[in-house]
Amino acid sequence: MILTIDGPAGAGKSTVARALAKRLGFQYLDTGAMYRAVALAGWRRGVDWRRPDELVQVASGLHLELIDDRVLLDGEDVSRAIRTPEATAITRYAADDPAIRARLVALQRVMAQRRNVVTEGRDQGTVAFPEAECKFFLTASPEERARRRLGDLRRQGETATVEEVLESQRQRDDRDAARPVGPLAKAPDAIEVSTDGMTIDEVVDRLVELARRRVELPPKTEP
Ligand code: DC
């Protein structure tokens, strides 16, 4: 069974998707981490960002694994390296490229095969898994999203102001929505949930309740 969670950056998707997967005994698929890892690999190999074919070349030779909460790039744990502000800024080179998107969507489908999965990203309910049994679209106000992002950055030891975070968030939103292939979009059959003012547990409770109304959730088994 596949549950998808799409929505803009900072709506709480990752935390909620991880907690929901745990609650249901599903695998969690963090697809943003895949775009981040491809961009990181390109940066490390010194690709010329003006030459998309170079990044496609790098992507085609990569071995990407998502194991629990860890992201492995050719066997190396890059879970932290892909989340620095620098890595976040270059991720668009991977996310904007149609060839890389096609490759990663194919990989996401393989990873979800014969599994119960909570998958999270921008195009999961629309492009990667249009047939998913239950789809959510998480939102939150720009201010709340920026506050959460700032909290995440501070925990990572980074400094930024609310204004800076709001501005880069606005640019990312515009970019995510304008992408010709796999843009941020709500699937027609997705349930929209605003997470403003809700705790993670409250959001997860709500999603479980909504999912139960739509599908018969499989009994929880040990992964
Ligand atoms: O969710 P995130 O912030 O880790 O995602 C990183 C970037 O990757 C973000 O700018 C949007 C992009 N992305 C995407 O285009 N498609 C996805 N399925 C997931 C993320």
Same domain, 44 and 89: yes
pTM of the shown model? 0.93
Mutate to test the pocket of ligand 1, among 16, 35, 79 (most ligand atoms within 8 A of CB): 35
Q: Which atom of ligand 1 is nearest to the CA of 96?
A: 15
Measured CA to CA, the distance from residue 127 to residue 122 in angstroms comes to 9
Same domain, 19 and 36: no
Which residue segment(s) compose the domain that 97 sits in?
Answer: 28-115
For 128-141, give one letter per residue: b (16+ CB within 10 A) or e.
bbeebebbbbbbbe
- pLDDT tens digits for 8-63? 988 989 999 999 999 999 999 999 999 999 999 999 999 999 999 999 999 999 99
Distances (CA, A) of 90 to 123, 129, 166: 19, 26, 18
Residue 18 in contact with ligand 1 by CB distance below 6 A: no
- pLDDT tens digits for 60-109? 999 999 998 899 999 999 999 999 989 999 999 999 999 999 999 999 99
Same domain, 91 and 140: no
217 in any annotated domain: no
Question: 222 pLDDT exceeds 70?
Answer: no
Residues 31, 104: contact at Cβ < 8 Å? yes
Same domain, 136 and 79: no
Mean pLDDT of 123-133: 97
Same domain, 32 and 65: yes
Count: domains in the chain: 2
Question: 198 pLDDT exceeds 60?
Answer: yes
Residue 70 CA to its chain's centroid (Å)? 14
Same domain, 123 and 206: yes
Residue 125 in contact with ligand 1 by CB distance below 6 A: no
Same domain, 135 and 94: no
Residue 129 in contact with ligand 1 by CB distance below 6 A: no
168 in any annotated domain: yes
Residue 121 in contact with ligand 1 by CB distance below 6 A: yes
Same domain, 18 and 41: no
